[in-house]
A and B are shown apart, each in its own frame.
Chain A
Amino acid sequence: MSQPTLAVRDLKTHFFTRGGVVKAVDGVSFQIGKGRILGLVGESGSGKSITGFSILGLVDPPGRVVEGEILLKGENLVGQPDERLRAVRGNRIAMIFQDPMMTLNPVLRIDTQMIEAVQAHHDVGADVARARARDALGRVGIPSPEERLNAYPHQFSGGMRQRVAIAIALLNNPEVIIADEPTTALDVTIQGQILYEVQKLCRETGTSLIWITHDLSVVAGLADDICVMYAGKIVESGPIDDVLDRSLHPYTKGLLGSVPSRNKRGSPLAQIPGMTPSLLSLPSGCPFADRCPRVQDDCRAALPPMVEYRPGQAARCIHPHVEGRA
């Protein structure tokens, strides 16, 4: 098998706060191949965004990556000096943030913000960088890019700003793009357009995409593979169809059940009882035990390991939804 573009191995990012150590990301592993799209799904606080920031080396104190490897084409990024990470950021791995209203600097023109992103990694003149910025804006579907370059962020709508952010991410033809809920703050119609375009661009350029979201329906039509995170850990991973159609973990099932759909109209929407556990004081066993409908005594004994129940599909559960079992 060819080398994955990005592989994360046993990543642990902890926050050292007054109240104690918060294990926001606690032993996350996944990998993504060239041109593939990985959905990283979880509720807020599950550690999915922190995972994204960890990959870029952008975790702010009191948090830091304490363990694990982040392998970009085989090269480990963890523990690299910041200058080395800087050369990777925005160049080989780019990121798109959730709120387009906040990601662009309000007092700088779009061209300034795009040209600096090119020049941070390539020794080119402002005119070359500007031409590249214009092309990138064109690629994400912004009309009359040349004029728009001279505008300020506040002169764009939310959807347009997110396109600009995506254009900035695309500027240096990165190998990986981490998209942190980039459509959550947008109207549904805009959401669809952006999803479509990002998917298309990644397929065209062979860029690998990590799509972080809490919305299963978004990744359903987008991702090739999916990782479901809960309380800082991946609880289920596998090809998208397998995970969605034949979920192993009760949490994944619960998430799917709480998505409204036409087939279930009229019947009450399922919900997962209880709340996400505090990351400060996780129980010793399965963190989902207290909310799990299938919980048994042995669930609380020790943290279940990731087990590959079907080819390519694994879950961190000792009583999964598997035929012939419980």
Chain B
Amino acid sequence: MTVFIVRRLMQSVVILLVMSVIVFLGVFAIGNPVDILISPDADQMERERAIRALGLDLPLWEQYFVFLRNAAVGDLGRSFVFNEPALRLIFERMPATLELAFTAVVLSLVVGIPLGLYAGLKPQTATSKGIMAGSIVGFSLPSFWQGLMFIMVFAVMLGWLPSTGRGQVGSFLGIKSSLFTRDGLAHVILPAINLALGNAALIIRLTRAGVRETLLQDYVKFARAKGLTHRRVVGVHVLKNILIPLVTVVGLEIGGLIAFAVVTESIFAWPGMGKLIIDSINQLDRPVMVAYLMMIVFLFIVINLVVDVLYSVIDPRVRLQDVKG
């Protein structure tokens, strides 16, 4: 296990390096940073001085190493717009995004797994067909439009829930989150459902497909031939097997949710990283873009690692391979 994790961490460093090259080239090299960093009113002298000061006269690879050296000590540049370290900006916004994504994951699991199980076990019933039709709608709903409709119905027409912002943030066990206050909860409901819906649909479909395939397996028939109750066959033999693909997908989906929070955050004015990156793109605030992308890559690597470890805990076959490897 330890060997496995160490090896994976080394791979992660490589991925981070590769991404840093891509991001660096993408953000700094393709566009011309001079145009953004230096006032257009500046004269030739000032321009050249600024270019030297910023190291933009160096060859590209040297610029990259400067970037990398700074990145290693946590300096990803200062935001042009906020005039604050970009990384600090990201860290300030991250809890809001994580809170939103976490709530959405929990919601989608709580809704998705039971419905998917039912649809997989009784595929012919009207309820199952309804669930599947619903999941197709949920899957197909463009999340931005769905968010608008939520605001229209629940905030504008019915006036039940607030439409924007994060609300009051409470503190519990040293963790600050809007989940701990009434007002915060009211604010988080709509965005979280909005973010969760597509994911719940995915989990329903995945669970159902898993159940249907697992039911055809010999070991399920053998379990039934042993005289086990239906409850035990489904609850232990089937569920434990579908958990394996589910963990993988849910793990990857957490990353997806963090990324897709961009849309939900923009609509509900949720003060997270996603809204920050959209604003930064629109304002060409490159250091923040870079910081966000590197942060997201890092988050993804961490999530993937956690998923892999979890995977090997659930699936005994994987564990053996690790010992050998």
Contact = CB atoms under 8 A, between A and B. Distances in A.
A88 B227 CA distance: 7
Interface string B159-178: 00000000000000000000
Interface string B221-247: 111111111101000110011001000
Interface string A106-126: 111100110011001100000
Contacts of A51: none
A179 B220 CA distance: 17
Contacts of A106: 219, 241, 315-317
A254 B220 CA distance: 36
B15 interface: no
A93 to B, nearest CB: 9
A165 B218 CA distance: 12
Nearest to A165: B222
A3 interface: no
A105 B237 contact: yes
B227 A121 contact: yes
A154 B317 contact: yes
Contacts of A91: 227
Nearest to B220: A105
A86 interface: yes
Interface in B178-233: 217-230, 232
Contacts of B222: 95, 97, 103-104, 165
Interface size class of B (residues with CB under 8 A): 20 to 34
A56 B222 CA distance: 11
A102 interface: yes
A116 B225 contact: no
Contacts of B232: 116, 120
Nearest to A95: B225
B237 to A, nearest CB: 5
A106 to B, nearest CB: 6
Contacts of B220: 105
B218 A89 contact: no
A91 B236 CA distance: 20
Contacts of A97: 218, 221-222, 225
A120 B221 CA distance: 15
Contacts of A154: 316-317, 320
B314 A107 contact: yes
State the main secondary structure of chain B at its contact with A.
helix
Interface in A143-162: 152, 154-155
Interface in B25-52: none
Contacts of A86: 227-229
Nearest to B223: A105
Interface in B304-324: 314-317, 320
A120 B228 contact: yes
A87 interface: yes
A35 interface: no
Contacts of A112: 236
Contacts of A168: 226
Given A99-B218, A105-B237, A107-B244, A58 B226 contact: no
A90 B226 contact: yes
Contact of B226 (A82, A109, A117, A155): A117
A81 to B, nearest CB: 12
A140 interface: no
B316 A89 contact: no
A94 interface: yes
Contacts of A58: 221, 224-225
B226 A105 contact: no
Contacts of A117: 226-228
A152 B317 contact: yes
A106 B316 CA distance: 8
Interface centre among B224, B232, B244 (most CB of A within 10 A): B224
Given A89-B225, A89-B227, A103-B222, 7 more contacts: A90-B226, A91-B227, A103-B219, A104-B222, A105-B240, A107-B240, A154-B316
Interface of B: 217-230, 232, 236-237, 240-241, 244, 314-317, 320
